[in-house]
Structure 1
Amino acid sequence: MLVDYSLKMPKNIFAGEHALEQLETILSKDMKKVVIFTDKGILGAGLIEIPKQILESKGIDYSIISEIPAEPNYHQAQEMIDQFKKENADFIIAVGGGSVMDVAKLASILATDAYTVKDLLDDPLLAKKQVTTLMIPTTAGTGSEATPNSIVAIPEKELKVGIVNPEMIADFVILDGRLIKKLPKPIAAATGVDALCHAIECFTSTKANPISNTFALEALDLIMNNIIEACTNPEALEAKNNMLLGSFYAGVAITSSGTTAVHALSYPLGGKYHIAHGVSNAILLTPVMRFNEPAIKENLAKAYDRVVRGGNPDLSVDEKSKYMITEFERIVELLEIPTSLKKFNVPESELEVLVEAGMQVTRLLVNNMREVTPDDARKIYLEVL
């Protein structure tokens, strides 16, 4: 556990069944121009109607950028940012999942022509906050609303990378379960397991500390005890609000700790095969946890004591640890998320390409409690091929 640690998080968070109406108190008539970042699916579902109505009632000029693709590469992100620059906006509202929020966060620090997204790939700390931001997640979730991270693909390397800059942390966050009420089950499940990965990875990271553990454990408790209900019952608003809160807490944990080998080894799957980020993490969650178990079983036992309702306190550390890994596996199976790369036509002949790409994600691999060698990565990938 780290000796020195810190925490950075959004300045203002509103959560609960009617949190979206708090936009009334956030918006100021002094604002000259607001840009709403979203995507076509969110736009079509009518999820930005309340923000639009509030903006109109206050007489605030706004425009909408809705062409953001799922899991964009850095060229696509730059296109959206160039479009944003023309608006001369002084406030950003992002309504969407991780991709929407990630692009909006990049826009907030790239509102001038001083730097581009490509420049930040080499030096993420170049840019400073230019425009105030509000993040409204419509999945639970990527945790992007809480983090200083923006994930973009690099097509020429067939890899995804994280641009990390504290200036991208949101100024405002709204968590409202109504916005995920109609989320299709596959998306709810994949993003929910992504949040689960954030929580358990941060709790078992070499950078774990008392601050991150506080948020990671609470996130794990909320997610594991609500994810099935939230993903399978459209009317389970309490479970959905709990998932939004759990996802947010897991995102906060990332800012103080960091994810590990699950995320590191999943990035090539998204970058080369365009497998959804949450699905990639779900595929690798159990294999990586089993690999890590010798180094993290005490952590997993503590997680068991926190999250398992009616658990047996007399179980040994080994028994609690194995229970948790089995429970992760059960959740993925119950949510019908693929657990193999066969469905995505990833041939075994690509094994060495995956290993080489995965081992490049040193930013996250250094967080793993158990060292991951190329041979270890090879064995983990072989489990899911």
Structure 2
Amino acid sequence: MPSSIYAGTDLTEHLGELIKLQTNQNVLLFTDKGIEANHLVDPLTAYFKAEGIAYEIEDEIKPEPSYVQVDELLHKVSQYDFGVIVAIGGGSVMDAAKLISLLRGADYTIQDLIKDASIAKKQVPSVMIPTTTGTGSEATINAIVTIPEKQVKFGIVSGSMLPDLVLLDVNNVRKLPKSILAASAVDALSHCVECYTSKNATTFSNDIAAIGARYIFQNIVAAYSEPDNIDAREALLMGAFYGGVAITASGTTAVHALSYPLGGKFHIAHGVSNAILFKQVMAFNKDAITPQLASLADFVFADNNLATADEKADFMIDKIAEIVKAVDIPTDLKQFGVKMEDLDFLIDSALQQTRLLDHNMKVLTRADVEQIYRSVLN
């Protein structure tokens, strides 16, 4: 887990606890123009000015950047003199910042990390401040990049990527648009449920994933339908963090494996592509994960009054579908321009995601993957 974690409101002052430990206190601030336009960066820059901390802002982070774009970003920011990286934004901003924390001044490249991430070492301390309710990037040792020549996304995984400080400030999600809240929160829910049903699950990861799932299941509809319900939004922020911790401890499974080609080639938002596949993958996996789904049902919905594990597993799968529908995420890939003739590409690309498929309780054959994709190509 990250070394220091704070949750609440107006947490900027806690930056000093990390920054003042550094010989070079200059800050490189990663964000995007949307975050700046909503003035979420203002408390940070005001703090830096008040404390006499020099800073540079990098706000040209691409959504779901390619490894080529990360390399270009590295060359750009290498001109700055900084000893701490602070990232405020969604998953793409935080992932890019974590990668730069490994690459700045290193004798390896991002291409080297794609081949072998075990060589990575933290070069610059990092602070993560999420502004969505979903990716969990602030708690993970993962960073996702697209590989344009293969039209897929790829996860670089290294323990050295773990942030040094996390600030979970509910002020940053007060005005989060409903569509972004929905997609990011369903993404976070998939993290929790996939990790709970992962082959690599442990007692620790299950405890964390279950708490995250309960936060999200019980609050996502209220947070979506009641924009002023700040308690529900805070619960989603916490659930997303717990989901990120669970990823580091356990790992996601086939939902994410089949989702990656959809983002890589068709540029479907990550949370949306996960939402489309979420119910279908859980239903496919059901005969191998019924005890886990039943246990999760008893923890999240203690009053479910169902008698058998099989009934509880079906209940959880139905709840996933209900939530995706309630937050207005479409579940048909054809709406995103995906066609039946794209099936071979999707299947081939998904089967290459062995890191994630190895976590899945059931071995997916080519026919299985095809069946799942066909079920969302109505």
Would you say same fold, with TM above 0.5? yes
Matching residue of 1:229: 222
Aligned equivalents of 2:11 and 2:323: distance in 1? 29
Q: 1:24, CA displacement in angstroms?
A: 4.4
Matching residue of 1:64: 57
Aligned equivalents of 1:105 and 1:269: distance in 2? 24
Equivalent residues, number: 376
Matching residue of 1:287: 280
Query: Could you say if the C-alpha distance between residues 126 and 25 of structure 1 is closer, same or farther in structure 2, counting changes exceeding 3 Å?
Result: closer
Structure 1 residue runs of 4 or more that deviate by more than 6 Å after TM superposition: none
Matching residue of 1:353: 345
Question: Structure 2: which amino acid aligns with 1:46?
Answer: H
Matching residue of 2:36: 43
Give per-residue Cα distances to partners, 1:155-188, cap 9 Å, x unaligned: 0001000000100000000001110111111111
1:136-285, aligned counterparts within 5 Å? Answer: 136-285=129-278
Q: 1:193, CA displacement in angstroms?
A: 0.4
Aligned partners of 2:31 and 2:88 also within 8 Å: yes
Aligned partners of 2:19 and 2:25 also within 8 Å: no
Q: 1:239, CA displacement in angstroms?
A: 1.2
Q: 1:76, CA displacement in angstroms?
A: 1.0
- 1:126 maps onto 2:143 in alignment: no
Which one of 8, 19, 22 corresponds to residue 14 of structure 2?
22
Aligned partners of 2:87 and 2:129 also within 8 Å: yes
Which one of 366, 370, 375 corresponds to residue 362 of structure 2?
370
Aligned partners of 2:126 and 2:165 also within 8 Å: yes
Which one of 318, 321, 331 corresponds to residue 323 of structure 2?
331
Aligned partners of 1:24 and 1:54 also within 8 Å: no
The normalised TM-score by structure 2 is 0.97
Where 1:269 maps in the other structure, the secondary structure is helix
Q: 1:123, CA displacement in angstroms?
A: 1.0
Where 1:134 maps in the other structure, the secondary structure is strand
Which one of 314, 319, 343 corresponds to residue 335 of structure 2?
343
Where 1:161 maps in the other structure, the secondary structure is strand
Aligned equivalents of 2:250 and 2:345: distance in 1? 29
Q: 1:21, CA displacement in angstroms?
A: 4.0
Matching residue of 1:80: 73
Question: Structure 1: which amino acid aligns with 2:299?
Answer: R
Moved more, 53-62 or 234-243: 234-243
Aligned equivalents of 1:318 and 1:87: distance in 2? 58
Aligned equivalents of 2:295 and 2:12: distance in 1? 35
Give per-residue Cα distances to partners, 1:234-278, cap 9 Å, x unaligned: 221111111111111110011110000000000000001111110
Give per-residue Cα distances to partners, 1:273-302, cap 9 Å, x unaligned: 111110010000000000000000111110
Aligned partners of 1:31 and 1:60 also within 8 Å: no
Matching residue of 1:5: none
Aligned equivalents of 2:182 and 2:13: distance in 1? 27
Where 1:35 maps in the other structure, the secondary structure is strand
Where 2:137 maps in the other structure, the secondary structure is coil
Q: 1:73, CA displacement in angstroms?
A: 0.7
Where 1:225 maps in the other structure, the secondary structure is helix
Question: Structure 2: which amino acid aligns with 1:299?
Answer: Q
Aligned equivalents of 1:183 and 1:117: distance in 2? 32
Aligned equivalents of 2:106 and 2:188: distance in 1? 34
Where 2:222 maps in the other structure, the secondary structure is helix
Aligned partners of 2:24 and 2:83 also within 8 Å: yes
Which one of 359, 372, 378 corresponds to residue 380 of structure 1?
372
- 1:117 maps onto 2:107 in alignment: no
Aligned equivalents of 2:286 and 2:101: distance in 1? 40
Aligned partners of 1:34 and 1:91 also within 8 Å: yes
CA RMSD of aligned residues (A): 1.2
Aligned equivalents of 1:66 and 1:232: distance in 2? 31
Question: Structure 2: which amino acid aligns with 1:354?
Answer: L
Q: 1:25, CA displacement in angstroms?
A: 4.0
Where 2:85 maps in the other structure, the secondary structure is strand
Aligned partners of 2:12 and 2:47 also within 8 Å: no
Where 1:371 maps in the other structure, the secondary structure is coil
Aligned equivalents of 1:307 and 1:235: distance in 2? 24
Q: 1:18, CA displacement in angstroms?
A: 3.3
Aligned partners of 1:81 and 1:103 also within 8 Å: no
